[in-house]
Amino acid sequence: MPSATVQGRKVYYEIHGETLGTPLVLVMGLGGSCRGWIPFQVPDFSKQHRVLLFDNRGVGSSEDSGKPFTTADLADDVAGLMDALGIQRAHALGGFLGAMIVQELALRHPSRVERPVLVGTYARPDAKRRALLETWKALAESHLPLELWLRERMLWTLQDETFEQTDLIENMLRFYAQDGITPSSDVYARQCDACLTHDTHERLRKINAMTLVVCGRYDQLTPPKFHRELADEIPGARLITMAHGGHLVMAEWAQRFNELVLHFLAETRWES
């Protein structure tokens, strides 16, 4: 399994596609492994970009220090991985926690990010999001059966219509139940803490890269209000609210989502 050493820890990564040009880094969100990108995004993205996937610290085969971490720490991990792989500059796309990491990456390492893509995320949590993340953290620490924990998250991340597809839901549960896909309860709790303490609101105007913000209209975890805030505060950012899909719009409407992202990355300038 390929790994690179970042700040003394091994980070598991995969590279897909041999396309020349600006690479694309996909940053996984809360409670997920980089393997979650493979069925939905990698086939399309790897045709036009060299795609870098990796597991955040403590997930899958990536080593964990056992210490608390912030989204800024995780952004430094991304920059360190890029250093280790000789990638000077890349596009960066993330969802929820992954998009919080991309925000910090663009702020802390602006020369490394060509175009950020922020999906299903926020600049800072409101009271309801804080209460929900505290609940998820407590559920993880209570060591409930994994299926109950996963179903609780699905209630917030999938749109109503997706739940009507029983076979799809069962396949998703089987996927997340595999070894190395869902992090330990301890790592998950620390990821929740990173989401709880994330706050870039007062710094977003310092992001000077062409930025795309994407959300699903029926996203209950991070409703459109959070994405409007991001687009309003990041200079020149573009907001796309997809007519369908919940929080996991990149999976529920993968083909349309991929088309939007690839079009944005291919633009030579903002199109009116």
CATH classification of the domain holding 220: 3.40.50.1820
Q: Determine, yes or no, domain membership for 175.
A: yes
Q: Determine, yes or no, domain membership for 22.
A: yes
> Do residues 159 and 244 lie in contact, with contact meaning Cβ atoms separated by under 8 Å?
yes
Q: Determine, yes or no, domain membership for 10.
A: yes
CA distance readout (Å), 150 to 11, 134, 222: 25, 16, 18
Q: Where are the alpha helices (DSSP H) in the chain?
A: 42-45, 71-85, 97-108, 127-141, 146-157, 160-163, 166-176, 185-197, 224-233, 249-252, 254-266
Q: What range defines the domain where residue 30 resides? A: 3-266
Spatial CA neighbour of 93 closest among 235, 246, 212, 3? 212
Q: Determine, yes or no, domain membership for 166.
A: yes
Distance, CA of 51 to CA of 254 (rounded, Å)? 16
Phi, psi of 115 (to 5 degrees): -140, 115
pTM: 0.94
68 Cα distance to chain centroid: 19
pLDDT at 272: 47
Q: Determine, yes or no, domain membership for 188.
A: yes
Q: Note down pLDDT in tens along the chain; length 272 residues.
A: 799 999 999 999 999 998 888 999 999 999 999 999 999 999 999 999 999 999 999 999 999 999 999 999 999 999 999 999 999 999 999 999 999 999 999 999 999 999 999 999 999 999 999 999 999 999 989 987 878 878 888 888 888 888 788 887 788 778 777 766 678 999 999 999 999 999 999 999 999 999 999 999 999 999 999 999 999 999 999 999 999 889 999 999 999 999 999 999 999 776 54
Q: Determine, yes or no, domain membership for 168.
A: yes
Q: Determine, yes or no, domain membership for 271.
A: no
Q: Determine, yes or no, domain membership for 53.
A: yes
Number of domains in the chain: 1
CA distance readout (Å), 180 to 96, 128, 166, 257: 20, 30, 24, 26
